[in-house]
Amino acid sequence: MRYAGIALVLTLLHLLVAARGGTHADIIGQLLRIGVFASGVCAALQRQRRTRGMGRVLWALLALALLMQVLWAASMLASVLWPAHGLALAIAASVLSALYTIPCMYLITSAFTGREPRLVKALDTGMSVLLAALLILLISTVMGGDTPGDVASVRLAIWHADVIDFSLAVLATVRLVGARGLGRRHFYLATSAFLWVNAIAAAIYNRLDMAGQTWWGPVLLDVAFVLLAVLAWRPPPAWLRRYVPSVQAARLIAAFAPVAISLGVLILGISLSRLNFIGGASAVLLAAVLYGLRVAVIQTQHEDKQQLADLSNRQLLRQLGVDPLTAIANRGALDARMRQILASGVSCSLMMIDIDYFKQFNDNHGHVLGDRCLVQVAAALKGALQRSSDLVARYGGEEFAVVLPDASAQETEQMGQRLLTAVQGLHIAHPSSPLGYVTVSIGVAIGRHDWLDEGDAVTALLQAADHALYQAKADGRNRIRHADGDAGQRAPTFDS
């Protein structure tokens, strides 16, 4: 609240000074503008300190972008105070304005999952730097041409700046639509609102500046920073809490973001090539190379993970053995796989599965047919899995377990439905079952590596899934139930 209030008060003072005019109104107004911009930086840093995980990086990047705007405003003030160095300071202001796009573009286009290879991060940074360099080159080409500073040249530079500003706003809004975490959505809400207002204000301000301005023109640039300070201070609104995009939409948007910056570089490079062919063509070529490298690195990482997952499953089954009856993994392999997943830094989805009314099945059909039923159910569960990294194991008796690494709650739910359908599709006759054939009940729990240490986390995750299984059976069987509690927090424990 403090920084939002300071920004609002300084903006009102800026408006008052601009309205009254006077000899030093311009200098005082620019000092007040710097104060408003600095308040926005402080508000972003304050939110950054109150945020956990990768959200801290996002807010820090936004604060860095805002700092570039503070330095731009300081350069503009310096050009007024020291007119002898006005040209050099104006160039410095243009450079700082372009540098502002680097952290903005990076925070919009990168995935920020914490698992991106360093080379991918470096390539994303390089693409953002290339975009800023193109903007600087464009401005210097336009302003340093045969008729530097003429209306046509300035108008061309302004239009390109508008394209960059509004593109940033659109991309930030797209990231907001595709953000699944509440903290991530709150960040992109604040960022997209700032970028939209800043783009509109800058477009109006630049045109007013060309036309000789009105007294209120410079105050427009303060509005976006006041809005950002307010949004950074306020908790996420109710509608933002309710909105959660689908997994498919989130993944599609996250995958599209790096493409967007490449397209931006290509478009800007093509536009620049009409004025500076070598510079524009070089930028287009470099953008294509950087994006191609990024795709190659991600593809290689995916293949390495797939090979490692295949190898891990094979090694576990070879070292720890398989269940002698069902030929699937045994309890030892299950525990080892869960520890491995949690230690690797990804989420671990566990499904405990119990054959409904199996005691009655054994009583009616005998243990030989009971064992055959176990074998058929195990085969059906194994056949329903979609990834080589997934594991099905016999937990004991008529209980099975399925482990899914790095799967969202929605993906886990979908897999649970596949498992229910797969067992029902066997149509194993079971007179004691309400449906007349064998069904299963499933309890689901999802854990993360930051719960506890791996050993305690495995135990807690098993307890949580077992409790959910008990709830599924209590609710009528042949259904899925999920463990209570936030999977990102310490795993819940239950009475036996």
Q: What is the pLDDT of residue 213?
A: 67
Q: Considering the candidates 116, 303, 398, 454, report the single residue annotated as catalytic.
A: 398
What pTM value is reported for the model?
0.61
What per-residue confidence (pLDDT) applies to 378?
Answer: 96
- In this prediction, residue 305 carries a pLDDT of 73
Q: Would you state the pLDDT for residue 492?
A: 37
Nearest in space to 101 (alpha carbons), one of 169, 48, 33: 169
CATH 3.40.50.460 fits 321-482, yes or no: no
Q: Which residue has the tokens 């077992």?
A: 466
CA distances (Å), origin 230, targets 193, 234, 241? 11, 6, 18
pLDDT confidence of residue 127: 80
Burial 191-227 (b: 16+ CB within 10 A, else e): bbbbbbbbbbbbbebbeeeeeeeeeebbbbbbbbbbb
The answer to whether 398 is a known catalytic residue is yes
Residues 6+ positions from 386 with CB-CB distance below 8 Å:
415, 418
454 token code pair = 């791996």
Note down pLDDT in tens along the chain; length 496 residues: 789 999 999 999 999 998 887 777 889 999 999 999 999 999 999 999 999 888 899 999 999 999 999 999 999 899 888 888 877 887 788 788 888 888 888 888 777 766 667 887 788 788 878 877 877 777 677 666 555 556 666 777 788 788 888 988 998 999 999 888 899 999 999 999 999 999 999 999 888 877 776 778 889 999 999 999 999 999 999 999 999 888 888 888 877 777 777 777 777 777 667 667 787 778 778 877 887 887 788 778 777 777 777 766 656 555 556 888 898 999 988 988 898 888 887 889 999 999 999 999 999 899 899 999 999 999 999 999 989 899 999 998 999 999 999 898 899 999 999 999 999 999 999 999 999 999 999 999 998 755 555 557 888 899 999 999 999 999 999 999 998 753 433 333 333 2
Task: Delimit the domains of the chain by residue range.
Answer: 2-303, 321-482
